[in-house]
Amino acid sequence: MMECEGIAGIEQFSSPGKGRGLRVSRAYEAGELLFSCPAYSYILSVNERGFICEQCFTRKKGLAKCGKCKKAFYCNVNCQKKNWPMHKLECHAMCVYGENWCPSETVRLVARIIARLRHQRERSPSEKLLLLRDMEGHMEDMDNEKRELNEAHIAGLHHFYSKHLDFPDHQALLTLLSQVHCNGFTVEDEELSSLGLAIFPDIALLNHSCCPNVIVTYRGINAEVRAVQKISPGQEIYTSYIDLLYPTEDRIERLRDIYYFSCDCKECTTKSMDMEKMKVRKLSDEISQKEIRDMVCYARNAMEDFRRLLEMCELSIDKMNTVFDDANIYILHMMYQAMGICLFMENYDGAVRYGEKVMKPYTVLYPAYSLNIASMYLKMGRLYMALDRKSTGISALQKVQTSPKLTGPYYTYCFVL
């Protein structure tokens, strides 16, 4: 039996209406670290290879590559040796399959979890409160599309990893895939760009709220939970599972689709920010509710269909501008996508133009201490500096202050009045 070690100042309890949860046993101030959790298993995204160490997720130049597959990169020999038990699951296969080696990130992560579970004899540092095998999976709530996707993942596991792995039975694989679906984390850098996937069992105990009192950030392969407001003894701690920019209906739809529950937090019950987020233009002819609903449908489809195309983004913005205000969240989303496309095309002036339109509404619509606001200040500061607009760049970067108080080596942020 694996005994529970626990975390100082944090306790697991039965949260009314939510199942398991975490609460504090002492007071925490805003910015204070509640606890950190190393990843139980993790994978680096393929498109980040060559820039980031596969073992510790350090971004640096001059990484050393694996001598066999030439595709995995490391800080040094020590990182390479530590990573070998996991990398060996892929190294030979990448050589054999070449360009046809294409398991999904979920398949890669599950393969590593299986490999670790095979040799695990005691509770890991990632499981001080919750064992990975005890994570919630909601298998009974999955629709046919998700069930079919899990079957495809299992086929991918057998195709790419059968040489180095002994698989559990089919039902156990389905259970593990459902657990990863509900509890997997996207590891992000300071600009909220995705680096890879990971599992953090203890952090999976955090329940969701659209009014969170903690945030989860990453230092390499470690996740850190920090307070964003004062938390009193006995109070439950909540993080947000989703992007909080969107209105209540969209948030609830996403929570139901991925996590199989509806949120009943203060923001979801009062919908206090929905009018601000869903602003429409003041025209001589009143805009009907049907026109608004039709434009919401159009906006949602446009976000999916035109995500990577700047021209389509601009056309979509023009169309939505006939009904929506500039601060409407669907226009903001499309402007943010346009900014990203401009960055990819190295059109920095265009990126700044869109970024400036997004920045002010973000500070109104996102909750205080939102990492989305901080990452935008960081992006804008770097863009201004690249365009030799140094005073403006310094002003933006001053709102993203390096400090160990909130996010260790990443950043904290303040809003200069």
Q: Is the pLDDT of residue 375 over 80?
A: yes
**pLDDT one-digit tens code per residue, 161-177:** 998 899 999 999 999 99
- Mean of per-residue pLDDT scores for the chain: 89
| Burial profile 200-228: b = 16 or more Cβ within 10 angstroms, e = fewer | bbbbbbbbbbbebbbbbbbebbbbbbbbb
For the chain, state the CA radius of gyration. Answer: 23
**pLDDT one-digit tens code per residue, 53-100:** 999 999 999 999 999 999 999 999 999 999 999 999 999 999 999 888
**In the chain, what is the greatest distance between 2 CA atoms, to the nearest angstrom?**
71
- Residue 348, C-beta contacts closer than 8 angstroms, at least 6 positions apart: 342, 383, 386, 387
End-to-end distance of the chain based on CA atoms, in angstroms? Answer: 55
Q: Domain limits of the chain?
A: 10-237, 248-402
Closest by CA position to 132, among listed 180, 171, 197, 170: 180
What is the percent of the chain where pLDDT is above 70? 92
Closest by CA position to 244, among listed 351, 142, 352, 333: 333
- Residue 304, C-beta contacts closer than 8 angstroms, at least 6 positions apart: none
Q: Is the pLDDT of residue 376 over 70?
A: yes
pTM: 0.79
What is the torsion angle, in degrees rounded to the nearest 10, for the CA atoms of residue 406, residue 408, residue 410 and residue 414?
A: 20
7 secondary structure, DSSP code: B
Whole-number Å distance between alpha carbons of 199 and 208: 17
Q: CATH number of 10-237: 2.170.270.10, 3.40.50.720, 1.10.3720.10, 3.90.1150.10? A: 2.170.270.10
Least confident range of 241-245, 255-259, 266-270, 320-324 = 320-324
- State the CATH class of domain 248-402: mainly alpha
